[in-house]
Amino acid sequence: MTTIRLATDKDNPQILKISKDLNLYYPTLSLTDFWVAEKGQKIIGMAQLATYGKIAFLSSVGVVKTEQSHGIAKELISKALATTDKDTYLYTVIPDFFKKFGFETTQEKPADLPSKGRYICEECFSYKCVTMIKHAA
């Protein structure tokens, strides 16, 4: 059985390992505001939903390779997004995946949006990296 819950400090080593295994790690990564998917005491997926002023920001969405394609990311993202009443932004190179959750590409850059430099997105296929928004319900 898989449980989706907010992460605690005890999860940090596994979150860091998954970040590195999936190439989602960047040096300024802050291990706060993470949601995790837990199966048999093992963390198999994660997503970070942080608040910056008037917006929410989704990042570090990842599922360990052996557990992909079983709907884990879908559960994680749905549960995390249900906890915010703010417009949610993200940066991604796989927009088609996030379109499934109601995100659309945008050129908007609200004042509270953290810069791409903060997430090292400028170094990761920057030509493919788009900004997306899901408007608050």
Ligand X SMILES: CC(C)(COP(=O)(O)OP(=O)(O)OC[C@H]1O[C@@H](n2cnc3c(N)ncnc32)[C@H](O)[C@@H]1OP(=O)(O)O)[C@@H](O)C(=O)NCCC(=O)NCCS
Binding site for ligand X (CB under 6 A): 22, 24, 61-63, 68-74, 92-94, 96-97, 100
Look at residues 46, 43, 91, 49 and name the one whose alpha carbon lies nearest to residue 73: 46
The secondary structure of residue 31, as a DSSP letter, is -
- What is the smallest separation between the CB atom of 15 and ligand X, expressed in angstroms? 13
- In whole angstroms, how close is the CB of 94 to ligand X at the nearest point? 4
- For residues 106 and 133, the answer to whether their CB atoms sit within 8 Å is yes
- Which residue, 87 or 103, has its beta carbon nearer to ligand X? 103
For ligand X, give the closer residue by CB, 84 or 98. Answer: 98
Query: Please, which residue, 24 or 55, has the CB nearer to ligand X?
Result: 24
Q: How far is the CB of 122 from ligand X (least distance, A)?
A: 14
Q: What angle do CA 88, 94, 100 make, to 5 degrees?
A: 60
Q: Is the Cβ of residue 61 or residue 81 nearer to ligand X in the bound state?
A: 61
Tell how strand 104-105 and strand 2-6 pair up.
unpaired
- Round to whole Å and give the CA distance between 105 and 130: 7
How many whole angstroms separate alpha carbon 136 and alpha carbon 82?
Answer: 10
Q: Minimum Å distance from CB 102 to ligand X?
A: 13
